[in-house]
Amino acid sequence: MMRILTTLVVVGGLAGVVTGCATPTDGEDPADESAESSEEAVSSLPFVCNNRPQFQEKAGAPRGQIVRARAASHGAFDRFVVEFDHQRGLPNYHVYPTPSARFTYDPTDAVISLAGSAGLELTLPTSSSYEVTPTAFKDRFIGPTRFKTAGGKSLLEVSRTGDFEGFSSFGLGLKQKSCFRVYGLANPARLVIDVQNTAP
């Protein structure tokens, strides 16, 4: 596997790591208008085609408390966003193209078949939506864990495919193999995957 160089992007005072992937959004995010505006600012950057695995394996990267995921179409690309409850710093991640839109759920190995003929798999090896305290074990994820992309042309459907022992994953169903980019944004911390709406 080749390591892809990353680029630090600053948008409206928010720093993020650009690596090359896309994400879906499920409607408006009423909790954070500034989050939407910063994502739109990055949208104006040139879309460099990538269809190889993208990842961050950074010592000292924060653990992620996942609070929501969303997907939406943005004209030239479809976007998927995973949001965390902290403000800055991106948890480690891996994004892999897959030859189909079939995934297995961790830890049961149940098959999840999403819309589309290709896919992307996002794994977050140090992130979870579960909050563990001495007195409680609570899933803090807000909203559906499986959803279609409203108006999606390339990114058709998304599903959480696991959250077990601090390791989380998502499957993205794509109409066909597509170029993508991955980057991070702050305030709140978000991992963004954009999937281009043209064939590579």
What's residue 39's pLDDT?
Answer: 79
Element (H, E) at 42: helix 33-43
Task: From the options 2.60.40.3500, 3.30.565.10, 3.60.15.10, 2.10.109.10, give the CATH code of 17-196.
Answer: 2.60.40.3500
pLDDT tens column, 59-97: 999 999 999 999 999 989 999 999 999 888 899 999 999
Residues of the chain with pLDDT under 70: 1-37, 199-200
Question: Do residues 120 and 195 lie in contact, with contact meaning Cβ atoms separated by under 8 Å?
Answer: yes
What's residue 37's pLDDT?
Answer: 57
- Whole-angstrom Cα distance, residue 57 to residue 101? 25
Q: Which residues pair with 112 in a beta bridge?
A: 103
Element (H, E) at 118: strand 118-124
Domain boundaries, given as residue ranges, for the chain: 17-196
- Whole-angstrom Cα distance, residue 155 to residue 173? 6
- Whole-angstrom Cα distance, residue 138 to residue 77? 34
In order, the DSSP letters of 78-94 are EEEEEEESSSS-PPPEE
